[in-house]
Amino acid sequence: MEYRTEHDSMGEVKVPADKLWGAQTQRSLENFKIGVSMEQMPDEIIRAFGILKLAAAEANRELLPSKITSDKLAAIKSACNEIIEGKLSEHFPLVVFQTGSGTQSNMNVNEVIANRASEILKTSKLHPNNDVNMSQSSNDTFPTAMHISAYLVIKNNLLPEINSLIQEFIRLEEENKDAIKCGRTHLQDATPITFAQEISGWRASLQRDAQMIEHSSSSLTYLALGGTAVGTGLNAPVGFDRLVAKKISELTGYSFQTDENKFHALTSKDELVFTHGAIKALAADLMKIANDVRWLASGPRLGLGEITIPENEPGSSIMPGKVNPTQCEAVTMVAAQVMGNDVTIGIAASQGNFELNVYMPVLIYNFLQSCRLLSDAMRSFRINCVRGIKANREKMKSNLERSLMLVTAISPHIGYENAARVAKLAHEESLTLKEATLKLGYLTEDKFDELFHPEQMV
């Protein structure tokens, strides 16, 4: 491998000749050999850095025209756009488990932009700190990238997937308005409901989750950029924070604003904790829905068997013909991961010591992973499972007719305790509810038939 020599304030470092990063990135690579490739800084963070560096360069050109020429600005913008488009991904090799401020990833971005812009410009060499990091600090750029990346993945990925799953449930509700089945509480027989009503509970849970995520994520539109090292805005021109937030809004199509209290913005991560709490609520509901689906599809002969789901792949290496609810299992594992991520996020956010939080990389890594996994899991669940759910109406009818809790229909007429006696007798002697009621002499046959209409109990 061929190398070139780069330098920083600590001296010279050899860097692979075909890479755009510089000395500080190389030092981080050598000093933090922790984890595997999947635990590198997320692509969403790198793209967010591309957005904020482009916006910062434009703001600096307007506010400090003597320090950044139009040629430099054009070259920086070109390099940033390549980062945003994912064209320079190979040049961002750093792992999550590095400095807790994300300084090395900020410098990785600065070095890549400076070197790529220098290639584009050809006439002069740009400096990663002086030119690309102008008016900024890692301490305000990394939390800004966190908010941008988190907000964009929610708006562009997570919420659309929730809404797509909601629409699939709405379709399924419409198909099953007249499918009456036994309700269940405590895993025991309960009074009747329609399958559509059961599905509506799933659908409404997702709608409420989407509302909570939408509400909580609005706090992520407040940006730390402009606070520089400790929140005072040292070395940033007056108005830089507002102007750069305006330009980030223009670049993303979403309304971002500067956080008026940069001391809060640098050290507190409460907005991410709050938003991930709503995301965890989504995970909890998806766990419940997936479990409901696999319970209802259990069988095919010895379980509830009230619905069928698509048979996507063989389920056993030893039992021929076995098919399992694998999509449900994938959703529940993702939900478990998200719940674990929430613990990490809460602990990481609590470590805002004095003027800076130093657990930021692991916090945003877990946050973005939650959004990514949930988006993917909902898409897979919708396409490979929910879309193919069919009600087994014969089994629903059979289960309903055998349910002892239909006795609730005659309870107002014979009293709670007498109704309980009917249910107990029917269960002990394998009688129908009608047979047990007549045997106990609580109602005549005609009166029982007049009162007993399970289809009206929904």
How much is the mean pLDDT over the chain?
96
Q: Are residues 295 and 321 in the same domain?
A: yes
* 275-295 pLDDT, tens digit each: 999 999 999 999 999 999 999
Q: Are residues 87 and 206 in the same domain?
A: no
* 193-220 pLDDT, tens digit each: 999 999 999 999 999 999 999 999 999 9
Note if 316 is an active site residue: yes
- Check whether 256 has a pLDDT greater than 90: yes
Tell me the average pLDDT across 412-416: 96
* 318-369 pLDDT, tens digit each: 999 999 999 999 999 999 999 999 999 999 999 989 999 999 999 999 999 9
Q: Are residues 412 and 314 in the same domain?
A: no
State the residue for tokens 């703001």: 59
Q: Are residues 70 and 185 in the same domain?
A: no
Largest CA distance in the chain: 103
Residue 231's H or E segment, with its range, is none
Is 103 domain-assigned?
yes
What is the rounded distance in angstroms from the CA atom of residue 282 to the CA atom of residue 335? 8
Q: Are 360 and 317 in contact (CB under 8 A)?
A: no
Q: Are residues 257 and 348 in the same domain?
A: yes
Q: What are the structure tokens assigned to 166, written together?
A: 């909601």
Q: Are residues 343 and 194 in the same domain?
A: yes
Q: Are 310 and 388 in contact (CB under 8 A)?
A: yes
Is 190 domain-assigned?
yes
- Check whether 36 has a pLDDT greater than 80: no
Is 398 domain-assigned?
no
- Check whether 315 has a pLDDT greater than 90: no
> Looking at 370, 392, 414, which one is the last position of a domain?
392
Q: Are residues 270 and 149 in the same domain?
A: yes
- Check whether 38 has a pLDDT greater than 80: no
Q: Are residues 161 and 35 in the same domain?
A: no
State the residue for tokens 């002499």: 441
Domain CATH number, residue 193: 1.20.200.10
Q: Are residues 118 and 15 in the same domain?
A: yes
* 109-130 pLDDT, tens digit each: 999 999 999 999 998 899 999 9
Note if 186 is an active site residue: yes
Quickly state the pLDDT bin for 1 (edges 50, 70, 90). confident
Residue 436's H or E segment, with its range, is helix 433-440
Q: What are the structure tokens assigned to 111, written together?
A: 């070095």
Q: Which of 316, 350, 427, 453 is catalytic?
A: 316
Is 380 domain-assigned?
yes
Q: Which of 362, 143, 367 is nearest to 265 (CA)?
A: 143
Q: Are residues 378 and 433 in the same domain?
A: no
Per-state percent for the chain, helix, strand, coil, to nearest 5: 65, 10, 30
pTM of structure = 0.93
> Looking at 134, 152, 180, which one is the last position of a domain?
134
Is 84 domain-assigned?
yes
Task: Kindly provide the residue ranges of all beta strands, DSSP E only, lying in 157-254, ordered along the sequence.
Answer: 180-185, 188-194, 222-223
- Check whether 106 has a pLDDT greater than 90: yes
Pairing mode, strands 11-16 and 3-8: antiparallel
Q: Are residues 426 and 370 in the same domain?
A: no
Tell me the average pLDDT across 90-119: 97
Residue 295, judged by CB atoms within 10 A of its CB (0-12, 13-18, 19+), counts as middle
Tell me the average pLDDT across 301-312: 95
Tell me the average pLDDT across 441-455: 93
Q: Are 55 and 244 in contact (CB under 8 A)?
A: yes
Residue 177, helix vs strand vs coil: coil
What is the rounded distance in angstroms from the CA atom of residue 348 to the CA atom of residue 362? 7
Range of the domain at 60: 3-134
- Check whether 455 has a pLDDT greater than 90: no
Q: What are the structure tokens assigned to 205, written together?
A: 């849970």
Q: Are 59 and 238 in contact (CB under 8 A)?
A: no
Tell me the average pLDDT across 397-414: 93
* 183-195 pLDDT, tens digit each: 999 999 999 999 9
Q: Which of 9, 70, 186, 317 is catalytic?
A: 186
Is 351 domain-assigned?
yes
Is 397 domain-assigned?
no
Q: Are residues 237 and 270 in the same domain?
A: yes
Q: What's CA 197's distance to the chain center, in Å?
A: 27
Helix (H) and strand (E) counts in the chain = 17, 10
Q: Which of 113, 114, 112, 141 is nearest to 127 (CA)?
A: 114
- Check whether 182 has a pLDDT greater than 90: yes
Pairing mode, strands 222-223 and 257-258: parallel
- Which ranges of 317-415 does DSSP label H, i.e. alpha helix? 326-349, 360-384, 393-402, 411-414
- Give me the number of domains the chain comprises: 3
> Looking at 355, 370, 392, which one is the last position of a domain?
392
